[in-house]
Amino acid sequence: MQLTLAHVLIASSSLLLPLSGQAQSIRVDYTGTVTEIGTLLAGNGVDVGSTLAGSFTYDVGTGVVSQFSHAFGNGFTAHLAAPVNLFVQNDQQNGSATLAADGLIVGGASISNTDWNGLSNPTIQFGLRQDNAAGQLWHDTLPPDLHDWSLVSLAAINGPDWRWLDFNVPNLPNFADDQIRFSVVSYSVAAVPLPAGIWLFLSGVMASLGIQKRKTVAKAVTLE
């Protein structure tokens, strides 16, 4: 069977169509500073003012968060245990929702690389929100795209304190004794490109087409 241009186009389109959603993925990276640390977590190389780094990746079309992690200077890291849905916040927790897209919440159970004073696998969350009175952060109820993120300021991210790790220890006198909260110092937002392997595969297919074409031409010349 000869490999024709039509075969290449069909193979390429069938390969790229399932990956079209990946082209719509967005990754948010940020650095932060610890603002509060619970009494159960003190004394492990992290204190108020210590730095951390985090990131999350989500699909704009579906809102599915495929990656979310935090890393601290003491070597403790926590990453999302399973994909979750990004939640677009619309202020309903404060009563009636008169404006949508006041913020977002990314959060879920995590797997940690070690324990923190005997505690491990915290719930992790990154959130931003502003009250309805302050207006919208972006202009629809869908997960934010790159344009929407361009409307979000660092001050808006550091509004309400919605960024934390919670080790979920039951029956604490103070619910924050097993939590770490942080502010965001800097952040960047970028589209996630298609995997490099896809382009290598397509290059290989095109090269195979060229070889097959040369063989066909050579065969035709020989027959003449």
| Of residues 49, 90, 104, 95, the one with CA closest to residue 72 | 49
In a domain, 222, yes or no: no
Residue predicted with more confidence, 131 or 137: 137
For residue 212, what pLDDT is reported?
57
Q: How far apart are CA 109 and CA 79, in angstroms?
A: 8
Check pLDDT > 60 for residue 205: no
For residue 194, what pLDDT is reported?
67
Q: pLDDT for 106-134, tens place per residue?
A: 999 999 999 999 999 999 999 987 765 55
pLDDT band at 161 (very low <50, low <70, confident <90, very high): confident
Residues paired with residue 189 on neighbouring β-strands, in sequence order: 28
Contacts (Cβ under 8 Å, ≥6 apart) of 31: 51, 52, 53, 54, 184, 185, 186, 187
From 17-26, 43-52, 186-195, the region with the lowest mean pLDDT = 17-26
Q: How far apart are CA 33 and CA 185, in angstroms?
A: 7
Q: How far apart are CA 128 and CA 15, in angstroms?
A: 36
In a domain, 199, yes or no: no
How far is C-alpha 35 from the geometric centre of its chain's CA atoms? 23
Number of structural domains found in the chain: 1
In a domain, 137, yes or no: yes
Q: What percent of the chain has pLDDT over 70?
A: 68
Residue predicted with more confidence, 96 or 186: 186
pLDDT band at 84 (very low <50, low <70, confident <90, very high): very high
In a domain, 206, yes or no: no
5 membership: H or E segment, kind and range = helix 5-16
201 membership: H or E segment, kind and range = helix 196-223
Residue 117 DSSP symbol: T
Residue numbers of the domain that contains 57: 25-193
- The residue-averaged pLDDT of 28-43 equals 96
In a domain, 107, yes or no: yes
Instruction: Say what the pTM is.
Output: 0.76
Check pLDDT > 90 for residue 91: no
CA angle 59/60/64 to nearest 5° reads 40
Residue predicted with more confidence, 40 or 207: 40
Half-sphere exposure of 173 (CA within 13 A, CB side): 2
Contacts 24+ apart (CB under 8 A), 83-91: 84/108, 86/58, 86/143, 87/63, 88/63, 88/141, 88/142, 88/143, 89/127, 89/128, 89/129, 90/141, 91/129, 91/131, 91/132
